[in-house]
Amino acid sequence: MPLVEITYAPDVPHKVLKDLAAILPHAVSVAVECPEEPYDGNLQPGDVELRFRPRGPFDSSGMSVVVEVRSKWFESRAANRQERVDGLYEAVEAIIGFGEIGVYLSLPVAAWAQR
């Protein structure tokens, strides 16, 4: 399950955040799909965890939106991670359409349990 943190500037409209919340589960699932964790297009609760937070007064980013995705490392994911993050960036950029945008894909060695 990917964990996705979206940090946004105060001038990002509510509608843009709402649209991001709508497209990110699918876009992230496409970006991290691999043989070990195939994506069948049928997202279930808990498949993608989104966490939105406004940029704080002490944050140093000048970007309008930063999307950070953390998903478990698999060799097949890591082999083409730049292509994966570039595709996700394009999906995010299509929704935002202004300002500077950053998309970060992290593939740590990890484990996950859900019940």
Q: In what order do the strands lie in the sheet with 3-8?
A: 49-54, 3-8, 65-70, 101-106
- CB-based contact 8:54 (threshold 8 Å): yes
CATH number of 36's domain: 3.30.429.10
For 69-106, write each residue's pLDDT tens digit: 999 999 999 999 999 999 999 999 999 988 899 999 99
Tell me which residue range forms the domain holding 33: 3-106
Say if 111 falls within a structural domain: no
DSSP string, 2-54: -EEEEEE-TTS-HHHHHHHHHHHHHHHHHHH-BTTB---S---TTSSEEEEEE
Average pLDDT value for residue range 27-45: 93
Could you give the number of structural domains in the chain? 1
Say if 114 falls within a structural domain: no
Say if 115 falls within a structural domain: no
